[in-house]
Amino acid sequence: MTYVKPSFRHPEAPINELGRSRQDYEGGLSTLCAGCGHDSISAAIIDACFELNIEPHKVAKLSGIGCSSKTPAYFLSGSHSFNSVHGRMPSVATGANLANRDLIYIGISGDGDTASIGLGQFAHVVRRNLNMTYIVENNGCYGLTKGQDSATMDTGTPNKKGDINMYSPIDLARLAIEIGATFVGRSFSGDKQQLVPLIKAAISHRGFALLDVVSPCVTFNNHSESTKSYEYVRGANTGMPVDFVPMRQEITATYDSGATCEVCMHDGSVVRLYKQDNDYDIEDRQSALEATSHFKKEGKILTGLLYIQRDSEELHDVLGTARRPLNSMTERQLCPGSRFLDSINAGLR
């Protein structure tokens, strides 16, 4: 039995501005089922971090429980990682982020981890606008426990066994837009051309960025009547292509579509979106909700950058925390003594 990835790579594989190869961003060999969409998302995260010239040790990967939450083992093996409790990744991410605001936080979750057990935590991390990228690997079922229906499964669709789902689905992207998320995208694991720039944009966004990525479960939810199968999503996908132009790079590409819009990110990079419809304003919550619901009614899945709020206050701004990470402070700064505690207490009387 051999299942080992050789360390030979293509002799002309590119090197990024840090002098690193894509291999430096890889992780362990996946133990998910062959054909799982999650592996494509891992590959897209590797591409995005490689192309953004991110130092792997500047990234913290966080996850909950489920197939999706195993995947941080399969990318960025040189990064910090925390595989937390089911549905509780947002709390851990919040704590980590408050302690060290200099890291890039990538949370990986699934539809079970986010839309079922973790829905409460999810809603609050959205509200708080924690500066992180939160990727939901959404396959409409509990793959790790043999494929039971999840909360994102569409009403009236059968599972692999043939039982029809009677409940109404939670649309995480729409929910996030509704409760104040500042960056919401939807994508498909089988469309890296869109997914990679979208992840780059999410990482560049200052504040909470949700990516709801449809990621088919080949083992339990890739059958002919599933609305989360490769074939269905390919047919229903109404993709709005996304370009991510990093800071300092000249914008040279030209496109014939009239419905483009460009969004300048906080770090100076530019996200260019090719919209389905000229009237769609991705900086307007109502417009984003209408567009997603319109396509949903037509049996389509609108993917791309759905909503963005350019300037927002992230959690550190709201709380007025120190600018430096706690680990760069001295003991005296962190623990200034009882005199300061007394004055704080006095202020509360």
Partner 1 sequence: MKATNTNDPEYFHKVVDCQYACPAHTPVPEYIRLIAAGRYTDAYMVNWESNVFPGILGRTCDRPCEPVCRRARVDEEAVAICRLKRVAADNKDDVAHLLPRAPAVGNNKRIALIGAGPASLTVARDLAPLGYQIDLYDDQPLGGGFMRSQIPIFRLPPEVLDEEVNFILNMGIKQHFQTYVSSLKSILEQGYHAVFVGTGAPRGSDLDIPGREACGASIHVGIDWLASVAFEHVAKIGKRVLVLGGGNTAMDCCRTARRVGGEDVKVVVRSEFSRMKASPWEIEDAVAEDIPIINNHVPKEFVHEDGVLKGMRFTVVDVVYDARGKRELVPTGEEVFFEADEVIIAIGQDNSFPWIERDLGIEFGKWDMPAVDKTTFQSSLKKVFFGGDAAFGPENIITAVAHGHQAAISIDLYLNGQRVEKRPAPGVNLVSQKMGVHEWSYDSEVSMDDRYPVPHVAKEKALLDRKVEVELGFDPAVAYQEAERCLNCDVQTVFTTAKCIECDGCVDICPTDCINFITNNDEPELRQSLRRPARNEDQDLYVSSTLAQTQRVMVKDENVCLHCGLCAERCPTGAWDMQRFFYSVTKAGGSCKQSSQSMTSS
- Smaller CB distance to partner 1: residue 40 or 114? 40
Residue 120 is a binding residue for partner 1 (CB under 8 A): no
Angle at 258 (CA atoms; ends 257, 263), nearest 5 degrees: 100
Which C-beta is closer to partner 1: that of 26 or that of 314?
26
230 binds partner 1 (CB under 8 A): yes
Does residue 228 belong to the site contacting partner 1 (CB under 8 A)? no
34 binding partner 1? (CB under 8 A): yes
- 36-55 residues near partner 1, rule: CB under 8 A: 36-37, 39-40, 42-43
112 binds partner 1 per the rule CB under 8 A: no
Note whether 225 binds partner 1 by CB under 8 A.
Answer: no
* Angle at CA of residue 203, ends 201 and 206, nearest 5°: 95
Residue 95 touches partner 1, criterion: CB under 8 A: no
For partner 1, how many residues bind (rule: CB under 8 A)? 34
List strands edge to edge, sheet with 301-308: 80-83, 59-63, 104-110, 132-138, 208-214, 183-188, 301-308, 237-239
Residue type, 231: E
Quote the least distance from Cβ 143 to partner 1, whole Å: 13
Q: Does 2 bind partner 1 (CB under 8 A)?
A: yes
| Residue from 9, 58, 146, 161 in contact with partner 1 (CB under 8 A) | 9
The answer to whether 42 touches 27, Cβ cutoff 8 Å, is yes
Binding status of residue 90 toward partner 1 by CB under 8 A = no
Distance CA 59, CA 179 (A): 27
Structure tokens given for 133: 């990228």
* Conformational region of residue 87, where left means phi above 0, alpha means psi within -120 to 50, and beta covers everything else: left
From 61, 128, 192, 205, residue interacting with partner 1 (rule: CB under 8 A)? 192
Stretch that binds partner 1, among 129-137, 143-151, 211-219, 251-259 (CB under 8 A): 211-219
Least distance to partner 1 from the beta carbon of 249, Å? 21
Smallest separation, CB 299 to partner 1 (Å): 17
Q: Is 63 in the site for partner 1 (CB under 8 A)?
A: no
Sign of CA dihedral 35, 227, 285, 121: negative
- Residue from 138, 222, 226, 309 touching partner 1 (CB under 8 A): that is 222
Any residues with CB less than 8 A from the CB of 347 and at least 6 apart, and which? none
CA 249, 53, 63, 194: dihedral to nearest 10 degrees? 40
Residue 161 binding partner 1, by CB under 8 A: no
Q: Nearest 10 degrees: CA dihedral of 322, 323, 327, 333?
A: -40
256 is a site residue for partner 1 (CB under 8 A): no
Minimum distance, C-beta of residue 257 to partner 1, in the bound complex (Å): 18
Q: Which of 7, 252, 254, 338 binds partner 1 (CB under 8 A)?
A: 7
* Spatial distance between the Cα atoms of 189 and 82, rounded to a whole number of angstroms: 23
Q: Note the residue count of the chain.
A: 349
Residues in contact with partner 1 by CB under 8 A are: 1-13, 30, 33-37, 39-40, 42-43, 189-190, 192, 216, 218-219, 222, 230-231, 234-235
